[in-house]
Amino acid sequence: MLIDSHCHLDFTEYDLDRQQVIGRAEAAGVNYFINIGATLASSQASCVLAKQYAQIYASVGVHPHDADTFNLDAEKKLRALAKFDKVVAIGETGLDYYRNLSSQKNQKQAFIQQIALATELNLPLVIHSRQAEVDVLEILKLHQPLRAVIHCFSGNEVFLRECLEMGFFISFTCNITYKKAQGLREMVKLTPLDRLMLETDAPYLSPEGFRGKRNEPMQIKLLAQEVSLIKQVSFAEIAKITTQNAKNFFNLR
C-alpha cells in the first residue's frame, strides 16, 4: 500500500479523466490520497472530492502565492472548511520567495494565521518553502510545538537538520529522479525513514522520462522505487514505512 501525501486532483487538468487517474493510481497500489488546498476555492473542491471518494482526504489552506487575498473573511471561511470531518491538515501554507506572487509581508502574515488555525484545531501543517528557509525557520521556531511536514523538500542540509530537530516530517517528490537532482538525492539519504513521506504534487513534477507531461498519483510507485535505491532498503519496506508515517501524521482512519 502507498499513499500520495500531496496531490491536487481537484485541478482542471483532471476534469476529463479524474476517475481514470484515481483508478490507475489504485492499480499501482496507491490506496490513499491527500488532496491539498492552495486557495479557498481549491480547498472547497478538496472537501468535495473527499466526500465523493472514500480514499481521498483533504487539506485546506492558502498557498503563499495567494497570500495577498488572505484577509479576515478568508480566514473565517478557511476555519469553517477545516471543520469538515475529512480535513486532515492545514495547508499548503508557507513562504515562496522564488516567485513572490504575493508580498513577503502578506505571505508571513497568512502563514502565521494558518499556523494559529492549525494549533487551534489540533491539525498538522503542510508547509511550502521555496528560497525562504531563514524566514520559514524563524516563524516555525516561534510557534513550537507544531506537527508539520515540509512538502516538496528543496532546501539544503542545514535546513533539513533544523526541520528534523523540530520533529517535522520531510516529503519528497518525483523531482528526485531528475538527472541533475543529486543534491536532492543526498537529502533523501540524510532523512531518517521514520520521518519521510512520499508525494507527487500532481499535476506538477512528473518523474524523469515523463517530464513535460501531467503528473499522476500512480507515479508514487516509481518514486518509492527511487527512494528504495537511494536508501538501499527494499521497496516493500519503503512502502510500509512511508505509508505508516503518512497514516500517523494525517491521523487516517
Which amino acid, residue 178? Y
| Domain ranges (residues) in the chain | 2-250
Q: What angle do CA 2, 253, 226 make, to 5 degrees?
A: 15
Q: Which residues of 127-137 are buried (b: 16+ CB within 10 A; e: fewer)?
A: bbbbebbebbb
Locate the DSSP E strands across 148-225.
148-150, 169-172, 196-198
The string of pLDDT tens digits covering residues 168-183 is: 999 999 999 999 999 9
The string of pLDDT tens digits covering residues 48-105 is: 999 999 999 999 999 999 999 999 999 999 999 999 999 999 999 999 999 999 999 9
The H or E element that residue 16 is part of is: none
Inter-residue contact 192 to 172 (CB < 8 Å): no
| In the block, residue with C-alpha cell 480547498 | 43
Distances (CA, A) of 169 to 52, 107, 129, 194, 195: 28, 22, 13, 8, 5
- When pLDDT is cut at 50, 70 and 90, the band that residue 151 belongs to is very high
Q: What is the pTM of this model?
A: 0.96
Fold of 2-250: TIM Barrel (3.20.20)
- When pLDDT is cut at 50, 70 and 90, the band that residue 253 belongs to is confident
Coil, helix or strand for 13? Answer: helix
Q: What mean pLDDT comes out for the span 100-122? A: 97
The string of pLDDT tens digits covering residues 124-150 is: 999 999 999 999 999 999 999 999 999
Query: Across all residues in the chain, what is the average pLDDT?
Result: 97
> Comparing C-alpha atoms, which of 179, 212, 175, 222 is closest to residue 25?
222
Name the strands in the sheet holding 196-198, side by side, starting at the edge strand that comes first in the sequence.
2-7, 30-36, 56-60, 87-96, 125-130, 148-150, 169-172, 196-198
Q: What mean pLDDT comes out for the span 191-202? A: 98
Locate the DSSP E strands across the chain.
2-7, 30-36, 56-60, 87-96, 125-130, 148-150, 169-172, 196-198
How many residues appear in the chain? 253
Coil, helix or strand for 6? Answer: strand
> Comparing C-alpha atoms, which of 104, 139, 149, 173 is closest to residue 249?
149
Q: What is the DSSP letter of 235?
A: H
Q: What is the DSSP letter of 131?
A: S
Percent of the chain with pLDDT strictly greater than 90? 100
208 is written with which cell numbers? 524523469
What's the rounded Cα separation, in Å, for the pair 249 and 251?
A: 6
